[in-house]
């Protein structure tokens, strides 16, 4: 009991420190991003900032399988469990990817500015017409050579597990003939689960799986790519499959 009483204020102090570190690094990075020329340079700067945040708070970020990341165009798909996931992928991936993010984030002015400066793409999750328009835009971007990173679950919640995937990432990959790279993020849910304001101490791990080539599945079929990528992630995620539980 006494240990728990002592642990709570220590965790709260760590959480406040972690939030402060994130805010300070972001505040220092944003003005530099605003004037830095070249998209890849800005992405490299954002990557360094993300890694600096995790270093400052002692959350060791390890990445396995970096050799599997294609040098050319690709679509990355990762599981989504925490608000930390975007920062984690920013620090883990090479500075070549445009992140596909829900449009609601554009309501946060400084965050919106930062994400726009690194070439993020915003998508509508609610309007049918907006979804179709954004889907066509992402297909064009993929076909023109833009590497894209998605969280195909679209959202996350308090229940541990992998939710059903949306089809958009896999449609873009199949129509552009691009490999799909499954990425597994571990530790984010434990560090900052849904419903919590302050992160806990923890370690973060990213695993990059070998790319799935559309041609290897017989047809450039978006649903076949979705199922193959989802199974790869489930094998290494150590969380249950929520496909049916979420649909119920």
CA separation for the pair 5, 157 (Å, rounded): 28
Q: How confident is the model at residue 245 (pLDDT cuts 50, 70, 90)?
A: low
Percent of the residues in the chain that have a pLDDT greater than 70, as a whole number = 94
CA separation for the pair 46, 26 (Å, rounded): 9
Global pTM value? 0.90
Flag whether pLDDT at 219 surpasses 70: no
Bigger pLDDT: 39 or 105? 39
Flag whether pLDDT at 2 surpasses 90: no
Q: How confident is the model at residue 202 (pLDDT cuts 50, 70, 90)?
A: very high
The tokens for 33 are: 């991003």
Q: How confident is the model at residue 234 (pLDDT cuts 50, 70, 90)?
A: very high
> 65: which residues sit within 8 A by CB, 6+ positions away?
207, 208, 209, 210
What number is the average pLDDT over the span 190-206? 93
Flag whether pLDDT at 6 surpasses 70: no
Q: Are 198 and 12 in contact (CB under 8 A)?
A: yes
Question: What number of CA atoms fall less than 13 Å from residue 50's CA on the CB side?
Answer: 23
* Other C-beta atoms lying within 10 Å of the C-beta of residue 71: 7
Bigger pLDDT: 158 or 218? 158
Q: Domain total for the chain?
A: 1
CATH number of the domain to which 214 belongs = 3.40.1010.10
Could you identify the residue written with the tokens 């290897």? 216
Q: What is the pLDDT of residue 216?
A: 58
Predicted confidence (pLDDT) per residue in 53-69, tens digit: 999 999 989 999 999 99
Q: Domain range spanning residue 187? A: 2-247
Nearest Cα neighbor of 15 from 156, 191, 222, 229 is: 191
> 207: which residues sit within 8 A by CB, 6+ positions away?
63, 64, 65, 183, 184, 186, 236
Predicted confidence (pLDDT) per residue in 133-181, tens digit: 888 888 888 888 789 999 999 889 999 999 999 999 998 898 888 999 9
């Amino acid at each position: 009991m006494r240990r728990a009483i002592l642990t709570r204020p220590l965790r709260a102090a760590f959480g406040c420190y972690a939030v402060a570190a994130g805010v300070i690094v972001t505040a220092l990075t944003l003005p530099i991003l605003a004037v830095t020329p070249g998209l890849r340079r800005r992405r490299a700067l954002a990557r360094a900032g993300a890694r600096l945040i995790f270093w400052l708070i002692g959350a060791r970020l390890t990445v396995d399988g970096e050799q599997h990341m294609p040098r050319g165009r690709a679509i990355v798909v990762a599981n989504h469990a925490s608000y930390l996931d975007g920062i984690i992928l920013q620090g883990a991936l090479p500075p070549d990817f445009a992140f596909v993010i829900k449009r609601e984030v554009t309501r946060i002015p400084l965050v919106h500015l930062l994400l726009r400066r690194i070439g993020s793409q915003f998508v509508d999750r609610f309007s049918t017409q907006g979804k179709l328009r954004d889907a066509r835009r992402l297909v064009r971007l993929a076909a023109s050579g833009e590497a894209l990173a998605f969280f195909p679950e679209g959202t996350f919640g308090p229940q541990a597990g992998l939710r059903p995937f949306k089809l958009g990432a896999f449609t873009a990959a199949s129509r552009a003939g691009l490999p799909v790279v499954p990425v597994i993020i571990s530790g984010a849910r434990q560090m900052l689960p849904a419903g919590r304001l302050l992160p806990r101490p923890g370690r973060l791990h990213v695993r990059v799986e070998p790319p799935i080539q559309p041609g290897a599945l017989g047809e450039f079929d978006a649903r076949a790519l979705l199922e193959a990528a989802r199974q790869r992630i489930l094998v290494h995620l150590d969380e249950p499959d929520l496909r049916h539980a979420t649909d119920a």
